[in-house]
Amino acid sequence: MSGAFGERRFEVARLRVPEWLLEVRGLGKSYGPHDDAVIASTGPQAGTAKSPLNGSVVAAWDVSFAVAAGEALGIVGESGSGKTTVLRCLAGDTAPTAGQANIRLPDGIVSLFEVAPAERRRLRIDTVSVVYQDPAEGLKLNVTAGGNIAEPLTAAGWRNFGKIRSRAEELLARTEVPLNRMDDLVRSFSGGMKQRVQIAKALANSPSVVLFDEPTTGLDASVAAGVLDLIRSLLEEHRIAAVVVSHDFSVIEMLTQRCLVMQHGRVVESALTDQLLEDPHHPYTQRLVAAARA
Amino acid sequence: MRRDPVLDVRLLGKSFVLHAVSGREVVALRDFTFSLATGEHVALAGMSGAGKSTLLKCIYRTYRPTSGEVWLQIHAGEYVDMCALTDAEVAAIRGHEIGYVSQFLRSEPRRGALDIVMKSALQRGMSEHDAREAARLALTRVGLEPHLWDVYASVLSGGEKQRVNLAAGTVHPPRLLLLDEPLSALDPENRERALELIGSLTRRGVAIVSIFHDLEAIQRLATRVLVVEKGRLVAERDPQDLDERLAAAAR
């Protein structure tokens, strides 16, 4: 392609953008039977995710995005908008009703929802990690911090006790968990410390995709700030493709470059994060931003 | 022979639809066309609300233009239309090719000045080592005392924040620099330093579009002045011919 300045021609440059590591296409989750009419009876226009036709809840529908290495994509929306559903489908905690999720591995592309269960579990161990809002979901509270981190390592085939221990030490040091707490039960840890252990565990096998579900919600402000700073620096250090689900614009603004807004199970707007904050288009996004800026 | 433009803005338009006031449409920019070459410094003049900042934000694509094209040179003879790029493409090109210095420091929380300026240099393709050196130099150039370099920028004074902004925008300077009142909070000594810095960038060939609220800065730095009124380009002036009324309007 080319253009011109008066008589003079110029070429339209093709930009190189990093390849995606996670690609989601048409992801949907309906609780209860669904057909086209049921789907059409839900969403932002209908003002509800619950179908008036048969009571099915269409928690998420037609969600598509791609995330590249070194990039963090935010998903914002109020509770019930479907953002966590999307994340849980990707994490393998919930079976999606529709759509595809592809992961790029060094030796090719795998389709997350189509691989055999054993392969799926393996991907969840070494390629796709999740940091949950509730540490109890990501950690075994009656196991030590070191034991929790050892779990994904042994699942990935690590057998040497000394090596497992030194990898756990390295991860705890990086996430700023005092090493003298390594052999304490996670149950005895503070909320912020539990979240740091969860992050350490999520990073154990150097995953290429990390999903964060409200990683700082429920923590005291100063503790949340520390955990956010940790996540920010980890994202800068590693070439991870991250998805950050949050209802909090300050979290999204700090961690992500691009963002989706969800309402009643649908993506209503997607943009660069600064565009969303300064030039929101959708009525719902305008309300969210106005509320966050108040 | 006329040089190839670094930036070529064609019929750029921007309206906002405000859903909170029953979908009212506010037109901020209409059919705005201008072109900018290497080493040119175009200052925008006009009343507040005329659309000057909107123009800068549309070029940077913090605002999503409603119509028109923004052609940006990324190599000799090669251009991209900022309005036609995907979000990922804008993200890839932005930090690298365009510097944007706003009146306010919009840095992330809990980050020090050196960190902020270094990150900017890294985005522009410098190595870790070079970026650190360049950041130190940039902060020295804007006169920020070294003991403030590792303090969270959010606790600095307005003038100090503005200097951090200027350092981040001008470190390893990109082809195109957008300045939105970058001197407004500076004391006379630091203002003089900043004026020197911006002038030296023009001499090095950086293309600049700026908004200043005072005549002196415009006359000292700008090579051309575009007068903006109600979102339109209404006149082009020589900076030395700019009258007091226009300068007052720019305030």
B-chain residues near A69 (CB < 8 A): none
Cβ-count burial of B243 within 10 angstroms (0-12 exposed, 13-18 middle, 19+ buried)?
Answer: exposed
- Residues B148, B160 contacting (CB under 8 angstroms): yes
3-class secondary-structure state, position A46: coil
Nearest chain B Cα distance for residue A240, angstroms: 16
A-chain residues near B75 (CB < 8 A): 13
A-chain residues near B64 (CB < 8 A): 271, 275, 279, 281
In the prediction, which pLDDT does B250 show? 53
Overall average pLDDT of the A11-25 stretch: 92
Q: How many CB atoms lie within 10 A of CB A246?
A: 25
Reading the block at residue A262, the tokens are 């969800």
Overall average pLDDT of the A47-65 stretch: 97
- Residues B196, B207 contacting (CB under 8 angstroms): no
Q: Touching check for A16 and chain B: CB below 8 Å?
A: yes
β-partners of residue A73 are A243, A258
Interface test with A, best of B15, B78, B115 (most A CBs within 10 A): B78
In the prediction, which pLDDT does A44 show? 96
3-class secondary-structure state, position B78: strand
Share of chain A above pLDDT 70, in %: 100
In the prediction, which pLDDT does A282 show? 97
- Residues A107, A188 contacting (CB under 8 angstroms): no
Helix or strand holding residue A193 (H, E): helix A191-202
- Residues B207, B36 contacting (CB under 8 angstroms): yes
Nearest chain A Cα distance for residue B86, angstroms: 9
Q: Touching check for A278 and chain B: CB below 8 Å?
A: yes
Contacts of A36 (CB under 8 A, 6+ apart): none
- The answer to whether the Cβ–Cβ distance between A281 and B74 falls below 8 Å is no
- The alpha carbon torsion through A163, A169, A171, A173 (nearest 10 deg) reads -150
Q: Is the pLDDT assigned to residue A227 strictly greater than 80? A: yes
Nearest chain B Cα distance for residue A119, angstroms: 30
Q: Touching check for B71 and chain A: CB below 8 Å?
A: yes
Overall average pLDDT of the A242-252 stretch: 94
Q: pLDDT tens across B207-227, in order?
A: 999 999 889 999 999 999 999
Contacts of B12 (CB under 8 A, 6+ apart): B29, B31, B32, B33, B55, B58, B65, B67, B68, B69, B70, B83
Q: How many CB atoms lie within 10 A of CB A74?
A: 27
In chain B, how long is the greatest CA-to-CA distance?
53
Reading the block at residue B208, the tokens are 């600049």
Alpha helices in A27-160 (DSSP H): 36-40, 83-91, 117-126, 135-138, 145-155
Reading the block at residue B101, the tokens are 């210095």
- Residues A34, A58 contacting (CB under 8 angstroms): yes
Question: Residue A261: what residue type?
Answer: V
- The answer to whether the Cβ–Cβ distance between A13 and B57 falls below 8 Å is no
- Residues A243, A68 contacting (CB under 8 angstroms): no
In the prediction, which pLDDT does B244 show? 67
* B186 vs B169: CA distance, rounded Å: 16
What would the CATH number be for the domain defined by B39-65+97-250? 3.40.50.300
Overall average pLDDT of the A240-268 stretch: 96
* B127 vs A116: CA distance, rounded Å: 43
Where chain B has pLDDT below 50, the residues are 1
E strands of chain A, at which residues?
A: 2-5, 8-12, 20-31, 57-68, 71-76, 98-105, 108-111, 128-131, 209-213, 241-245, 258-263, 266-272
Cβ-count burial of A162 within 10 angstroms (0-12 exposed, 13-18 middle, 19+ buried)?
Answer: exposed
Interface test with B, best of A12, A263, A267 (most B CBs within 10 A): A12
Helices (H) and strands (E) in chain B, counts: 8, 10
Which residue among B4, B92, B110 sits closest to A15, beta carbon to beta carbon? B92
* B87 vs B161: CA distance, rounded Å: 28
* pTM of structure: 0.94
3-class secondary-structure state, position A128: strand
Reading the block at residue B175, the tokens are 């082809």
In the prediction, which pLDDT does B94 show? 87
Overall average pLDDT of the A80-97 stretch: 96
Reading the block at residue B98, the tokens are 């365009």
Q: pLDDT tens across B14-25, in order?
A: 999 999 999 999
Q: Touching check for B92 and chain A: CB below 8 Å?
A: yes
Q: Touching check for A221 and chain B: CB below 8 Å?
A: no
Cβ-count burial of A27 within 10 angstroms (0-12 exposed, 13-18 middle, 19+ buried)?
Answer: buried
Overall average pLDDT of the A244-263 stretch: 95
Closest of B93, B72, B195 to residue A16, by C-alpha: B93
ipTM attached to this prediction: 0.91
β-partners of residue B15 are B27
- The answer to whether the Cβ–Cβ distance between A13 and B19 falls below 8 Å is no
Q: Touching check for B240 and chain A: CB below 8 Å?
A: no
* A67 vs A20: CA distance, rounded Å: 5
